[in-house]
Structure 1
Amino acid sequence: MSLPDRGEPGGLLHNMSAPPKSVVKYSGLSNLATSISQGTAGVFGTPVRFVLPADLLGKTASYVLRYLGVEPVSAKAAAQQLDALINARAADLPLPDGCVVIPAALQHPVIWPDALSTLAILAKCSDSIWLRTKQPALNAALKRRQVTLLVPPLFAHRLPKVSP
C-alpha cells in the first residue's frame, strides 16, 4: 500500500500537534544546578571548600615551596619539586578520582585548611571538574583563591568530620 502524493515534500508537517510558532523549552536539570549553587544539595553530595592562603596568590614555585617549609633544590627544579608534592598529596586525599566543581560558598566547610591540600585541588581542576590524575597546572592554581568540590554521597563517609 502506498501513501497518496501530497504534492510538497513537507506537506505532512503542517499537521503537527503543536501550533506553528510554538517554542518548546527544555530546562533539563537546571533546578538541580540552582539548588547546588545555593548550597542545598545535601542529597546529591557533600560540598568541600578549599581556600588558598592569600600569601600564595601569584607567587613562584620556589616561594610556595619555602612557604610549605621545603627548601627548593634549585629555581629551575622548584616547579618539578612542587608538582611531586602536589601529586603525592592528591593521591592521599580521601576523594574519588574525579569531583564536580561547584560555585564556592562561605557555608561550605573547609575540611583541609592546609596550603598543600588546596594546591593539590586547585592545580588539578578546571572550572567544572577536579581530576586526581591530571597533570598539575601550578600557574592556574596560583591565580585562583578558592574552589568547592561536590563529593558524591558514596564517598562522603571517607571525609573527616568537621569540628564546629
Structure 2
Amino acid sequence: MNRATLIAGIGGGLAVVALLAPATGTALGKLGRAREAATAAKAAVAAPRSVAVPLVAAGLRTPGGSEAEAVRGLTGRVRRLAAEGGVLAEQVAAVPAGEGLVRLRLRLSGPDKAVVALADRIERATPLTRFAAWRVTALPGGGLRLEGEVVAAWR
C-alpha cells in the first residue's frame, strides 16, 4: 500500500463518518428517550395505587382507626343491641373481608318478634350495616334463629 491510497482511504472514511453523524445522533437521542419512557413506565407500575377512597360517608362508617378496632366496635354494638332486645347472641365472630370492610358472622336466637326487630334495628341504625347473607330457621316454642353475615365499612 502506498501513501496516496492510505490517505485516500482515511479521507473517505472520515467523509462517511461526517455524513453519518447526524443520523447516528438522532438514533441515539431516540434510544435515550425510549429508555426514559421505559423507566417511567416501570416506576408507574411499581408505584403504590392511588389513595383509598372512602366507601361511605364519614357519618355512616363504623368507628375505628383499624380493622381490628372496627370489628371490636361492631361486635360490641351487635351484642348490646341483642341484649337490649332480649335476643341471645350465640355467635358473633369476625370473618375476613375486603379492603375497608368488616364482616361478622352472626347466630342470633330468641322470640320471633324480637329477632326480626333486632335484624331491622341492625340494618336501619347508624353506622351503616347490612346483611350480606342470612337465613332464618323456626325453633320450637315460637322462636327464631337468624344466621348470617353482616358487613360494614370502617374506612
TM-score clears 0.5: no
Which one has the largest radius of gyration? 2
Q: Which structure is higher in helix share?
A: 2
Interval of TM-score (by shorter of Structure 1 and Structure 2): under 0.3
Q: TM (normalized to structure 1)? A: 0.25
Q: Which structure is higher in strand share?
A: 2
Q: TM (normalized to structure 2)? A: 0.26
